[in-house]
């Protein structure tokens, strides 16, 4: 048992991804939004890390779905 809550647990199920094009557009938007954040602000960096983690997961799920690969 850990003394913290993980971002994702082994039993967490991700929602079905959008199309690859939508996921790419969303990732670009998140990158643009997080680019202006203060690198010295802990909360800004935490928010950016979580947002980008979610987008990478969405992108990979969309790629897997496009290839017909299931998880």
With beta carbons less than 8 A apart as the criterion, state whether 23 and 62 touch.
yes
With beta carbons less than 8 A apart as the criterion, state whether 47 and 39 touch.
no
pLDDT of the residue at 56 = 92
pLDDT of the residue at 71 = 53
* Residue-level pLDDT, tens digit, the chain, 71 residues: 568 777 777 667 667 778 899 999 999 999 999 999 999 999 999 999 999 998 999 999 899 988 887 65
Ordered by start, the domain boundaries in the chain are: 38-71
pTM: 0.74
Question: In whole angstroms, what is the distance from residue 42 CA to residue 25 CA?
Answer: 26
What digits encode the pLDDT tens for the residues 27-39? 999 999 999 999 9
CA dihedral 42, 44, 45, 50 (to 10 degrees): 120
């Amino acid at each position: 048992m850990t003394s913290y809550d993980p971002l994702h647990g082994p039993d967490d199920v991700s929602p079905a991804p959008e199309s690859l094009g939508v996921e790419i557009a969303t990732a670009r938007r998140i990158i643009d939004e997080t680019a202006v954040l203060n690198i010295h602000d802990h909360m800004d960096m935490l928010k950016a890390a979580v947002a980008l983690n979610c987008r990478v997961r969405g992108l990979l799920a969309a790629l897997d779905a496009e290839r017909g690969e299931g998880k």
